[in-house]
Structure formats: structure tokens, C-alpha cells
Structure 1
Amino acid sequence: MEPFAWFASSDYWLGRLVFQRGLAGVYLVAFLCAALQFRPLIGERGMTPVPAYLRRVPARRAPSLFRLHYSDRFFAVCAWTGAGLALALAAGAGDAVPLAVSMPLWAVLWGLYLSIVNVGQTWYGFGWESLLLEAGFLAIFLGNDETAPPVLLMWLLRWLVFRVEFGAGLIKLRGDRCWRDLTCLCHHHETQPMPGPLSWFFHRLPRPLHKVEAAANHVTQLVVPFLLFAPQPVATAAALTIAVTQLWLVLSGNFAWLNWITIVLALSAVDGRLVAEAPNLPGPPLWYAVAVTAVTVLVLALSVRPVRNLLSRRQAMNRSFDPLHLVNTYGAFGTVGRVRYEIVVEGTTEPVAREGTVWRAYEFRGKPGDVRRLPRQFAPYHLRLDWMMWFAALSPAYAAQWFGPFVERLLEGDRDTLRLLRRDPFPGAPPALVRARLYRYRFTTWRELRSTGAWWERTPVRDFLPPTRLGTAAPGDGSRAA
């Protein structure tokens, strides 16, 4: 028998395989999002440039490879390198090399993405960024086919998915009253950040079914996570229940890779013996067992603050307690909006705005705009600008740092910024003026859809940004549009 064979078990072979391959797939999407969107968002000429951010923020708060050097070319190299490495690991490269090589490959992947998140500013302030980093850190120490999966690390994966689900359940129970009277989902499908192609149909489900949805959500998030720690096959049943619930969320909206990484984490608890006979994998070498033990102790020590947060009546959601995002707290939709607001950005070639001026709208890829356009499915891909536009509609404070620069780039006809959009209404030359108006959106009824062909009905509320040209002040952040 190999030394420390008791420390690992081949019974977890399927959980490790599914988790590592699935996580590599999520990493691939994340790095592609970074590579394809960073220039207009955080590049050297971006809305919130990385160099300026690094000058403001000390290294201890945001450790990153880009503190050694930053250029758009270097960032692109890092992002595409991460995408290529993630693709290789998803294809099984981690099992094709020795254990001492596989672990550094996962560490490079984690380090590259940590470097991106820590300079990403508001564009990377989402819970699924920290979730990917926390899961990615654990993946470094899960080993490969040269050794049986370490039991302690496999249980830490369950601890992570427990915090994701239970934290989300508690934030709902403590938050909006509609979660307690089971009516939140009468509104959520319509007011969520980025509806999907089936969201209209989910919204139009009968009210009693919405209550069943909400009740099932409470059971899945507040009861089922405890069963992950039960003996098999109960833990497998709990994992599959969580996975099915997450697939329901995938169908009803766009939440980047949050649902997919939660599914991958949950499936790590599936008992491989239910699928096939476990392979006879060797036990871990001494150095590896020591590393796994040290990581387990570290994670348990860092879990103290997240646990305190879970137990607190002032529970915070989606917060990192250390700059490496090693152990975090999670949660979503403690409050559900009853009304949907959208910012419609428009431009005109006329030099002076007057009554009768013809304004043409910029169309975004994911967020609602044209009332006749059915929302599209983009998740697990993350449209960062579209998401931030949803937050900006809730409060101009969310747009204080970047909306003025965004308008400036539209007035300049900046190609990188325009690539973030679905349609540029001024393909020949940039507009003379840009404005933004706030609208109230609601899903149409069945009768309205049949008669008008429109999925949305919208009503103007107020100006968000008055007609603005290059060289004039951009309200909201005190900066200038040029």
C-alpha cells in the first residue's frame, strides 16, 4: 500500500474529473470575456484605465502581475494565454502530465485570472469572479490521475457550494419580504439584470407556480445544502437537486457563469461508484499530502469570517475578506425590484437639439432596448457593459466612474467601445450629440404580443443625461466628455 493511501480515495474519481474539466471550461469563458472586452473597459484608453487604478490602490489591496508591467498588449497576452491553458486543461492536459507539472498549470491559471480581477475594478465586482478564484485555488491541489483524489479537498468543494447556496438562501430570507410571502418570482423574471429568451414566458406563468418556484428555491438553498455532507447516495441526490435548480435558472435568465460553476461544484459530490467501478489509483506522495493538509487548515481558518457573516443579521453578500479571494461570502437577490428601468442611449448628427430632432438609439447586445427584440441567451459569456447599464438604471451612482467616458467614446466613434454594442446607428461618422433617457420597461401581455409583436412595453421617465457633445460636462462624475 502506498504511504498515506488513507488520505485519499479513488471513490471520488468522477467528482474530481467533472469538477476539473468543468472548471477549466468556465475559466476558458472567463478569459475569453477578458480578452475580448478589456480594451474599452480597463485598457490604456479605457473608461477606467488599469494604469490609473494601480497608481491609486496599494499593492497589498490588489496584488496583480500587472503591477510589474502593464500595456494593452501584455494584458492581451495574459488573457489569451489563460484561454489557451484553460482549453488544454479542459481537454485533459492536467492528466497527461506528472502531478508536479499539473499543479503549477492550475496555479498559473489561477494567478493570471487573479491578476485580471484585481485590476478589473467595477467591471469585475461580481460574486462569480471571486467564486471562480476560490474554486480555482482549490483545483490547484486536487491532483490528477497519478493519485487518488484527496478526501479533504473534495469535502472543501462541498463546503464551498454549501456557502454559495446557503448564503444565497439566507440573504433572501433576511431580505425582501416578497421572499417570505413567496411572491418575489412574480417580479424577478421581468426585472432581473439580463433576461433570456425564455424569461418572458417564465414571467407569464400563473401566480401559484411562481409561489411554487420561490418555495422550491428556499428548500434547495436552505435545506438541501446540508445533505451534501450526508452519506452516499444522499449527497449525490442533493448535488443533483442543486444542479437541476441551477439549470432552471440558466433557462430563465443570464447570470454569466454563476449557474454553471455552481453546477460544476455540486457535481463534485456525485458518487462515482454509481456510474462505474472506481479505478485503482495510487495514494498520494508525502509532499502532496503535506500540501493538501496545509491548504485545508488555511481554508478552515479563513472560513471564520464568512461563517460569522452567514450568522450575522447584517449579512453581506458577495464579499471577499482577503485580496487573494481565497474564501469568500456569497449571495444574490436579497432584494427584488418590482419595476424595471432601462437607460436608452441615443445620438443625432444634428449640431443643435431641438423639437423634432431625429435621435437614433444604440442597441446593446444583451440588455433590453428595441421593444420588438426577444432577449438573447449569452450566459455563460458575461457582457460586462450591459450588466453595468442595468445597475446604472437603478442609480446614477453606479455609473459615476464610467458613464461620462463611455459617452465620450461614442462621440469619438471609438471602435473598441462600439464593438461592445450590437448596433452602431452611425457607421459613417460619429454623432454630434449623445443623450440618455430613462424608461420604464415591462413585459407585454399575451394579447399585446399578438397584436403588436413587441416583447416589451416602455414608458419614458426622465432624462438620464441631457444632449451632450465633445467638450461639455458629463453629469454624474464631474468629468468632461472630452
Structure 2
Amino acid sequence: MEWFSAEGYEFARQVLQRGIAAVYLIAFLSAAAQFRALLGENGLLPAPTFLARVKGRGIPTLFHWHYSDRFLLAVVWAGAVVAALLVAGVPQSGPWWLPMAAFLFIWGLYLSVVNIGQTFYGFGWESLLLEAGFLAAFLGSDDVAAPVAVLWAFRWLVFRLEFGAGLIKLRGDRVWRDLTALYYHHETQPMPNPASWFFHHLPRPLHRVEVLGNHFAQLVVPFFLFFPQPVASIAAAVVVITQFWLVLSGNFAWLNVLTILLACTAVSDSAVRAVLPGVQFAAPDPEATPAAFAVVVLAVTVAVLYWAWAPLKNLVRRDQLMNASFNRWHLSNAYGAFGSITRHRSEVVIEGTNDPPGPDARWLEYEFRGKPGDPRRMPRQFAPYHLRLDWLMWFLGLGASGAWFPVLLRKLLAADRRTLRLLRRDPFGGEAPRWIRARVYRYRFSTPAELRRERVWWVREPAGILVDPVEGPGPGGGPS
């Protein structure tokens, strides 16, 4: 079985198994906290309505059998428990089939959630997590060496993720080609973090160097992941460093953290020992690999090769797809981000009042957890946690349509408790306002002088009305 096993990659396996499981844990906890308000029986886009509409279309999900908010919670908490056990390494200490069963279990549960998540789960990192979790199922347990074919499959995943993102940028917005993308990106990205203001104000020549470095990391470095050691480990280190740069400068849910974990598939134990000489890794006997495990892995390898064809063709297409799945199991995917960069930031601000609409009405603003609102509030760090409503509000500011938004306004008019828990601040203290409206503001980062003088991180100007005042039941109307 020496041909089957990859000796010297125990570090990679431990990072992949425990790290991917940790991201699943975050994803399940996010679903437990947000899914019912967004997609539950009385959510903004109710899952039961969606399930009735897609019945018979072959979308894999447990919820075809039954959906209720209680069952949804049972599913996500079961997934969270198993993911936590994998983080602790409990299944990995057993026979080879135990971590396989555990990973396939959480993959199947999360697939069931994603496939009814509609626009709130329409992000590329959902497919990335599903594909990574499926591959992690075949890394084996602590008493067998990691299969070389599975490690190569992970490298192919990282290659598609990085190279696809690089191509989509070059084929998309000219600001990536003329190296000016970061003149705008830190200010207009979906959810800036505490360091984004400072990154935005770096010298413009440095921004151009950053873009050039990004092109090198995404269009050149991924090829070296397939080279012999130590070249592959060096390429992985470049990916890790550039992804940490993105972690420092923005909130992109678990995309960057998961990419860092996946890049570790190319890091050998010897490379780790070269940096940390005292680190030791267990060395499973390649001859101890069970024949049944080898058969399963070889079958999966054939499937991975078959699934590779569609995303490979996509990479060479002029009309390259971004964040697309080529099968309903999310196991054959195309990735990419920010093929276009917005030059200005528009934010939708929701306000309520108990006064009759007019020039003398006192409108109070609802505050979201992550998206910009109060100009005096410094952006916060939330990634790798995913604030789904805040992300959809960013798309709304870009002009995207949202069937969920009128429902959100109605929920706020009714002071729906579950909806209000998605927000940072309800200016009416749990009571229903009489009127509600949605305004559009143009936001920009303050200058250093404005920050010192006025203590504001943002400067905003009114840019119009998205929704005219809508009347509700008024104070005391009660939560739904």
C-alpha cells in the first residue's frame, strides 16, 4: 500500500480534518441563530413555501421529508455536536470508517440546509465548505496514512479556488488590469472590518503593489502546489500569507479561513519541522492501510476525476462562471470573487417613526450588526461568522432585487422578536413603530482629518428613497 499512502503529511491531515470540522461548527451555529428568522416557517423567505415549489426537482435535502423549525434545530445541533467531536479528534482515534461516517454525516446535514437556503445561502463559500467536507471524509483515521489521491484532490480544489478567482478578475473589471482595484475595494466591500479604514488609506502606489501581488498569488502560485517539495510547501505558504492579508482587511465569512486550511494540504511535515524544529508527528504504517479503505478511496478518486471536467472547462471559457455548482451535491464547483469592483458605496438605511410622515417627523434608525450604519461606529470583526442578512443588505444597496425585503419591513412594523434579534439595535425597544421607510445613503470612509475632528469613520449623504413610508399597526401593535 505504499503507492496509496502519502507519508509525511500528518500535519496536513490534522489541519484539514480539525479545521474543516471547526468551520462546519461555525456554519451550524450560524444556522441555529439565524435560519428560523430568515427562512423558517415564519421567516423572510419561508423554507416550506420553497420546498412546495421545488418538489420533485431532485434537490437533495432531508427537508423534503419534513420541515419544521424544531426539526431544523435538531438537524443543525446534531451537525454541531458531530463537528465538535471531529475538532476534538474523537472519531479520528477510531477505525478508518468512523471519521468518514462523521464527515459524511455533517456534509449531508449541511447540504440539506444549503439546498433550502435560497438567496441567504447563495454564496460560493457554501459550496466550498461542502466540497471540502466531502473530501475530508476520505482522509482516514490516525492509524492509517493519509491517501495521496485525496491530498491531490484537495490541491486541485485550492487550484480551482485561487486560479479561478484570479481569472475572473482579469476577465472582469478593468481596475484589476490597471492595478487600481484597491483604490475602491476596502471602502466598498460588503462588510468592512476594524482595519479596513486603515487599509483604504494606505498610499496608492502600495495599493497597486497589492493588486500585482494578488495576481501573482492567484494566477502563478497555484501551479506550484503540484510541484515536488519544498516548492509545494512554499507555494502553500504564499497562499496562506495572502489569505491572512484578506482576513486582516475584511469580513468574508469563512472564505479566507477555509482557504488557509485547504492550502495546508501541500505543506509537508518536513516543511513544518524546518520552521518549528521541535514539532513531531505520528507516522502511521503505510502497510496498515485496510484494503476496504483503499477501495473506497479509489472509487471516490474516479468520481473526483469525472467531476473535474466541468470546472476545468469553465476555467478556459471566455464567459467564465463564478461561484457555480455543476451538480446538485455541490461536489463539482467553480469559484471566484469580485470580478467587478463597485466605485461607490450605497447603503440602505431602515428608519421608523411614531409621528405622522412629514418634515417634522422624528425618524429613528435600525442598526445592523455588521453593515455600516451610524457613521461614528467603527466597523466590527465578525468573520468567520456569517451575518447573512447584512450581506443581503449590501447586495440591496447595489440595486439587487430582494423579495425578502418587503417582508423584513413588515416584520419590523410588527416588532417581530425573532427578526429584531438579527439586528444590533431596535430604536423602539421592542415596540412596533407606526411608520417605516427605507432610505439610500452614499457612504465613504472619512479622511484622517475628519476622523480626528469629528470622530466619524464614515461620511454619508442622502441619495434617495428606496421605500416610501409604510404604515403599520402602530405602538402596542405587538410582536408577531
- TM-score in terms of structure 1 length: 0.95
Q: Residue 476 of structure 1 corresponds to which residue in structure 2?
A: none
CA spacing shift, 1:390–1:277, aligned 2, 3 Å: closer
CA spacing shift, 1:103–1:349, aligned 2, 3 Å: same
State whether residues 28 and 83 of structure 1, in contact with CA within 8 Å, keep that contact through their aligned partners in structure 2.
Answer: yes
Deviation per CA, 1:339-398: give whole Å up to 9, x if none. Answer: 000000000112x2111100000000000000000000000000000000000010142x
Superposition pairs of residues 235-314 of structure 1, within 5 angstroms:
235-274=232-271, 275=273, 276=280, 279-283=283-287, 284-314=289-319
Q: Residue 316 of structure 1 corresponds to which residue in structure 2?
A: 321
Letter in 2 for 1:333: F
Q: In terms of mean alpha carbon deviation, does 160-169 or 58-67 score higher?
A: 58-67
Runs of 4+ aligned residues of structure 1 deviating over 6 Å after TM superposition are none
The offset of 1:466, in angstroms, is 0.6
C-alpha distance in structure 2 between counterparts of 1:66 and 1:368, whole Å: 35
Superposition pairs of residues 302-381 of structure 1, within 5 angstroms:
302-350=307-355, 352-381=356-385
SS of equivalent residue, structure 1 residue 463: strand
Q: In terms of mean alpha carbon deviation, does 184-193 or 58-67 score higher?
A: 58-67
State whether residues 411 and 434 of structure 1, in contact with CA within 8 Å, keep that contact through their aligned partners in structure 2.
Answer: yes
Deviation per CA, 1:132-158: give whole Å up to 9, x if none. Answer: 000011011111112110000001000
Superposition pairs of residues 32-71 of structure 1, within 5 angstroms:
32-71=29-68
Letter in 1 for 2:378: L
Superposition pairs of residues 54-453 of structure 1, within 5 angstroms:
54-274=51-271, 275=273, 276=280, 279-283=283-287, 284-350=289-355, 352-397=356-401, 399=402, 401-453=403-455
The offset of 1:277, in angstroms, is 5.8
SS of equivalent residue, structure 1 residue 6: coil
C-alpha distance in structure 1 between counterparts of 2:456 and 2:360, whole Å: 25
State whether residues 272 and 278 of structure 1, in contact with CA within 8 Å, keep that contact through their aligned partners in structure 2.
Answer: no
Letter in 1 for 2:463: V
Identity over aligned pairs, percent:
57
Q: Residue 474 of structure 1 corresponds to which residue in structure 2?
A: none
State whether residues 145 and 281 of structure 1, in contact with CA within 8 Å, keep that contact through their aligned partners in structure 2.
Answer: no
Deviation per CA, 1:4-62: give whole Å up to 9, x if none. Answer: 23211231211111111110111111111101001110000001011100011144442
Letter in 2 for 1:372: R
State whether residues 60 and 323 of structure 1, in contact with CA within 8 Å, keep that contact through their aligned partners in structure 2.
Answer: no
SS of equivalent residue, structure 1 residue 147: coil
SS of equivalent residue, structure 1 residue 134: helix
Letter in 2 for 1:439: Y
Deviation per CA, 1:136-193: give whole Å up to 9, x if none. Answer: 1101111111211000000100000000000000000111001011000010000000
C-alpha distance in structure 1 between counterparts of 2:232 and 2:301, whole Å: 21
Q: 2:467 aligns with which of 460, 465, 471?
A: 465
CA spacing shift, 1:61–1:374, aligned 2, 3 Å: farther
State whether residues 146 and 282 of structure 1, in contact with CA within 8 Å, keep that contact through their aligned partners in structure 2.
Answer: no
SS of equivalent residue, structure 1 residue 9: coil
Q: In terms of mean alpha carbon deviation, does 111-120 or 294-303 score higher?
A: 294-303
Deviation per CA, 1:260-291: give whole Å up to 9, x if none. Answer: 00000001110012324661434421111111
Letter in 2 for 1:13: E
Letter in 2 for 1:392: L
- TM-score in terms of structure 2 length: 0.95
The offset of 1:470, in angstroms, is 3.5
CA spacing shift, 1:428–1:316, aligned 2, 3 Å: closer
SS of equivalent residue, structure 2 residue 128: helix
State whether residues 165 and 331 of structure 1, in contact with CA within 8 Å, keep that contact through their aligned partners in structure 2.
Answer: yes
SS of equivalent residue, structure 1 residue 442: strand
The offset of 1:101, in angstroms, is 2.1
SS of equivalent residue, structure 2 residue 60: coil
The offset of 1:93, in angstroms, is 1.2
Deviation per CA, 1:429-460: give whole Å up to 9, x if none. Answer: 11011100001000011111111000100011
C-alpha distance in structure 2 between counterparts of 1:415 and 1:456, whole Å: 29
State whether residues 225 and 235 of structure 2, in contact with CA within 8 Å, keep that contact through their aligned partners in structure 1.
Answer: yes
Structure 1 runs not aligned, ≥5 long: 472-481
State whether residues 438 and 464 of structure 1, in contact with CA within 8 Å, keep that contact through their aligned partners in structure 2.
Answer: yes
State whether residues 314 and 321 of structure 2, in contact with CA within 8 Å, keep that contact through their aligned partners in structure 1.
Answer: yes
C-alpha distance in structure 2 between counterparts of 1:266 and 1:361, whole Å: 42
SS of equivalent residue, structure 1 residue 214: helix
C-alpha distance in structure 2 between counterparts of 1:367 and 1:240, whole Å: 32
Letter in 2 for 1:291: V
Structure 2 runs not aligned, ≥5 long: 274-279, 474-479
CA spacing shift, 1:196–1:314, aligned 2, 3 Å: same
C-alpha distance in structure 2 between counterparts of 1:268 and 1:405, whole Å: 44
Q: In terms of mean alpha carbon deviation, does 286-295 or 117-126 score higher?
A: 286-295
Q: Residue 7 of structure 1 corresponds to which residue in structure 2?
A: 4
